[in-house]
Amino acid sequence: MTRPDIALSPEALAAQLRGKYGHLSGGSLLEALVSNELGGQIMLSSSFGAESAVLLDLVAQVDPTIPVIFLDTRRLFGETLRYQKTLADHLGLEDVRIVRPDDGVLQRLDPEDMLFASDPDKCCEIRKVAPLDKILTKMGNLGFKAWITGRKNFQSDTRSAMPSIEADADFIKINPLADWSSDDIKQAYLAKNLPPHPLVADGFKSLGCMPCTVRVAEGADARSGRWAGRTKSECGIHISRSAASSPIN
């Protein structure tokens, strides 16, 4: 296995890997990167949401020991928590790491669990961004260099030009499904008979925290059910950590 040059910046390393593997996607991209470059240095974050089973299945086929980070914000649907266990067992994922927000921070900043209504950005910061930042820092210190995500170009304007391999502040982000369409996702579910999230059949096409997720009308943009009625479209975890990080006051 060829190890990436540790002296390279994330931007330079991402460019180098795109030059080698940018023509690949899906399982082919993951297999090449894990086998040739990043074995033992790559992790995955997953919401275990409406479309998550496709990427998790690809990862399990390549290497079921790849660490999977699951953010339990303490405001998720009960169905999501149960689905996480069901899907991890079904796919044989061997290293699911459940990360939760700091109880002291929640008690201080959101004691009534209502921050989502007055300041959804702050709510996402303390329940998602800060806990993930903490585990990513820990993983980085352990030598991890790459972070697999399930983002796709069709999901939003902010993701429309996203490449399959990109740089973050401290990691290379691998987006194996970047160029996949909604129909590609549906076909993958059917081809592998993957268990769907139980709320999808009830009209929830994109799943996040319970207070900020609503059903989506047939034919509407799937992510329109996230933070409905607000201009907000991202929780913040995929904004560069160097740009997004701020102290929690």
Which residues have a catalytic role annotated?
235
Q: What is the DSSP letter of 35?
A: I
Q: Give the Cα separation of 108 and 130 in Å (integer).
A: 15
DSSP 3-state of 147: strand
User: Residue 43's beta-bridge partner residues?
Assistant: 147
Give every strand in the sheet of 68-71, ordered side by side.
96-99, 68-71, 42-46, 146-148, 172-174, 165-167
Reference 225, options 192, 199, 193, 186; nearest CA is 199
Q: Give the Cα separation of 76 and 211 in Å (integer).
A: 8
